[in-house]
Homo-oligomer: A and B are copies of this chain.
Amino acid sequence: MRIAFIGLGNMGAPMARNLVKAGHSLNVFDLNTTVLAEFKELGCTLSASPREAAQSGELVITMLPAATHVRSVYLNEDGVLAGIRAGTPAVDCSTIDPQTAQLISTEAAKQGVALADAPVSGGTGGAAAGTLTFMVGATDDLFGQLQPVLAQMGRNIVHCGAVGTGQIAKICNNLLLGISMIGVSEAMALGNALGIDTKVLAGVINSSTGRCWSSDTYNPWPGIIETAPASRGYTGGFGAELMLKDLGLATEAARQAHQPVILGAVAQQLYQAMSLRGEGGKDFSAIVEGYLKQE
């Protein structure tokens, strides 16, 4: 299939590579000429604009940093909607607010284009390994069309409902994740301060009612889980700045929906304080360091 792929950043590039491996022909667009050169080597067609990339595509995939980029890549004069043919499906894999996802979809529909939102989880590692989870907001028909292609970039392709629900699922999950990680950090730091062995404590939690992904898979205390960022100096993983971005999306969506998210708002501020201390580049589990006595 000829696929227009727009956005070849840390996530987009490995995703696009998996599509090349799967045998697709790609029209690619990005502002970074280094990565473009690499995709030329792989046999992809370089496009001069999102519009040009979309013109000959049988499917359009976008993977961009934030809503402002999504808006301009789709809606500008040189954008996707200026080039795409009616009937061609499109899917935006960026993590953005649900309202923008719905707005772009509405604009696309005016030209006979069905657009899905499909934000991912799994990080750059999952993108490279082709094991991402896609949370897809789309009609049943569109989901059916997209599923086989998304499955070439990910392992778990979940249909969440109408357009926008992919974004909703992601921000709700990450709201909970941001809270849980701080909860585990407080529990581990308190146990340590009170004198229990932290491995024993993690063992109790992981076989009891405190059990969660932030404890049993990604524990923020060094040495508990060998594969977690905490055991390698909080490098790799999911950066605190990305968590901040997602909590910002969640609390802003909550504000617009007149829905309180009390712990979520406190969590956002605690990651913000971590960022202010200059620690925003670390994995988000380094939030635990704010709970430790400084020597």
In this assembly, does A94 line the interface, its C-beta being within 8 Å of a C-beta of chain B?
no
A258-273 Cβ-contact flags toward B at 8 Å (1 or 0): 1111111111111011
In this assembly, does A252 line the interface, its C-beta being within 8 Å of a C-beta of chain B?
yes
State in angstroms the CA–CA spacing of A213 and B187 once bound together: 16
State in angstroms the CA–CA spacing of A174 and B186 once bound together: 11
Stretch at the interface among A4-12, A79-87, A140-148, A161-169: A161-169
A154-180 Cβ-contact flags toward B at 8 Å (1 or 0): 001011111011001101111111011
Q: How far is the CB of A73 from chain B (nearest CB, A)?
A: 22
In this assembly, does A121 line the interface, its C-beta being within 8 Å of a C-beta of chain B?
yes
A178-214 Cβ-contact flags toward B at 8 Å (1 or 0): 0110111011111101111100110111011111111
Copies of this chain: 4
In this assembly, does A254 line the interface, its C-beta being within 8 Å of a C-beta of chain B?
yes
Query: Would A135 and B263 count as touching, CB distance under 8 A?
Result: no
Stretch at the interface among A47-55, A56-64, A286-294: A286-294
- Name the CB-closest residue of B to A253: B194
- A194: chain B residues at CB < 8 Å are 98, 164, 168, 172, 253, 257, 259
Query: Would A211 and B210 count as touching, CB distance under 8 A?
Result: no
- A contacts with B: majority SS: helix
Q: How far is the CB of A112 from chain B (nearest CB, A)?
A: 25
In this assembly, does A248 line the interface, its C-beta being within 8 Å of a C-beta of chain B?
yes
User: Contacts A121-B208, A209-B218 hold; do A175 and B161 have CB atoms under 8 A apart?
Assistant: no
Stretch at the interface among A23-31, A38-46, A274-282: A274-282
Q: How far is the CB of A164 from chain B (nearest CB, A)?
A: 7
Q: How far is the CB of A23 from chain B (nearest CB, A)?
A: 29
Where the two chains meet, the residues of A that have a C-beta atom closer than 8 Å to any C-beta of B are: 98, 121, 133, 135, 156, 158-162, 164-165, 168-169, 171-177, 179-180, 182-184, 186-191, 193-197, 200-201, 203-205, 207-215, 218, 248, 250-255, 257-270, 272-273, 275-278, 290-294
13 example contacts (A-B, Cβ-Cβ < 8 A) are as follows A159-B200, A160-B196, A168-B191, A172-B188, A176-B183, A180-B212, A183-B263, A209-B213, A209-B214, A251-B251, A255-B272, A260-B276, A277-B294
